Amino acid sequence: MKPSILDYTQTELEEMFPPKFRAKQIYNWIYQQHVGSFLEMANIPKKLREELEENYLISPLKVVQKQKSSDGSIKYLFELQDGHTVESVLLKMKDAEYDENGDLVHHAKYTVCVSSQVGCKVGCAFCLTAKGGFIRNLTPGEIVGQVLEIKKDNEIASNRRVNIVYMGMGEPLDNLDNLAKAIKIFGNENGLSISPKRQTVSTSGISSKIKKLGEMDLGVQLAISLHAVDDALREELIPMNKAYNIASIIEAVKAFPVNTRKRVMFEYLVIKDVNDDVESAKTLIKLLEGIKAKVNLIYFNPYPGTDFERPEPETMQKFQKYLLDRGVLCTVRESKGLDISAACGQLREQELSGESPKEQK
């Protein structure tokens, strides 16, 4: 398999293909001009173009399934060079706005949810991705390529920034080195120029690696997939909690460097009759004392074969109100893609089982 040029930082390309300005040119062609071939790079010497074309790929993945929801979100299934597949999602957070003359006033705002692994080691009881087990880490280029291909596919201009959330398949902190490199590649001003402040790393709570991520001081935002407020329940939902309990996670979060204008996100997947009671809300408030936090309540998205159920809207509102009334910033994430394969890992599982629907647009 050919290596992907997306695996390399600009500094690495400067060393590989002197003089240094060549790296900036290559970055411009790939990330801003969105070329599909090295041969299209007109200001690169012909010999180097041919060398690059022979020895490297631009994108290490291709779209094999795409489902578009009525709410505007699009779920992608990408195939990697070795035949494995991963999922990504484009979420339209805000529609473009136009004035009475039809002139654009505000651009549409997007968030891209990317995967960091093929499969996952964590084995959460509610997650479909866990069914297939862990296969391998994604390379930096395979992480970066998800966003690049989605921007190209939706004709999102190179100068239009998107937000990135590492909340797809896999545990990002189990692939920390490649994740960190991807974060830097995303942030390069000659590339996609997506500031670390626009990138959120979501983790199931590997305390030691939360600490290591903080020490790297990359400037990213942090989200904790908490989902339970006591260790007994959390161990049922997330077996990894036996090694990294709630107390260790809270301790690591308190030491994490956070921009003074930002908050640590605590993701709380609400499952009917499992963790949706007021007593859980009370305990959650106690856990978050001393942390500049925001709680994001998430509806469980059912998938075939699960025993868990989606909570009632009234229950979500009651839980949210309890937190808000006591000074805890809390939002309810509006579910997207309910008319397509919304659950994480669902589209991949359908593809593997031969049940994948045809492309929907």
Tokens of 39: 């041969």
Q: Which residues are catalytic?
A: 87, 344
User: Whose CA is closest to 31, among 54, 58, 56, 50?
Assistant: 58
CATH topology (fold) of 60-353:
TIM Barrel (3.20.20)
Q: Annotate 237-282 with three-state secondary structure.
A: HCHHHHCCCHHHHHHHHHCCCCCCCCCEEEEEEECCCCCCCHHHHH
- CA dist 104 and 224 (Å) reads 37
Known binder of ligand: residue 171? yes
- CA dist 309 and 294 (Å) reads 24
- CA diameter of the chain: 68
Options 2.40.40.20, 1.10.150.530, 3.40.50.720, 3.40.50.1470; CATH of 1-58:
1.10.150.530
**Is the whole model's pTM more than 0.75, yes or no?**
yes
Q: Where are the domains of the chain?
A: 1-58, 60-353
> Would you write out the chain's pLDDT as a tens digit for each of its 361 residues?
899 999 999 999 999 999 999 999 999 999 999 999 999 999 999 999 999 999 999 999 999 999 999 888 999 999 999 999 999 999 988 888 888 888 888 888 999 999 999 999 999 999 887 777 899 999 999 999 999 999 999 999 988 989 999 999 999 999 999 999 999 999 999 999 999 999 999 999 999 999 999 999 999 999 999 999 999 999 999 999 999 999 999 999 999 998 777 899 999 999 999 999 999 999 999 999 999 999 999 999 888 889 999 999 999 999 999 999 999 999 998 766 666 555 565 565 566 556 555 444 4
In terms of DSSP H, where are the helices of 154-223?
Answer: 176-187, 207-216
DSSP state of 57: B
Known binder of ligand: residue 124? yes
Three-class secondary structure of residue 108 per DSSP: coil
- CA dist 185 and 26 (Å) reads 13
Known binder of ligand: residue 241? no
Known binder of ligand: residue 170? yes
163 torsion bin: left (phi>0), alpha (psi -120 to 50), beta (else)? beta
DSSP state of 335: P
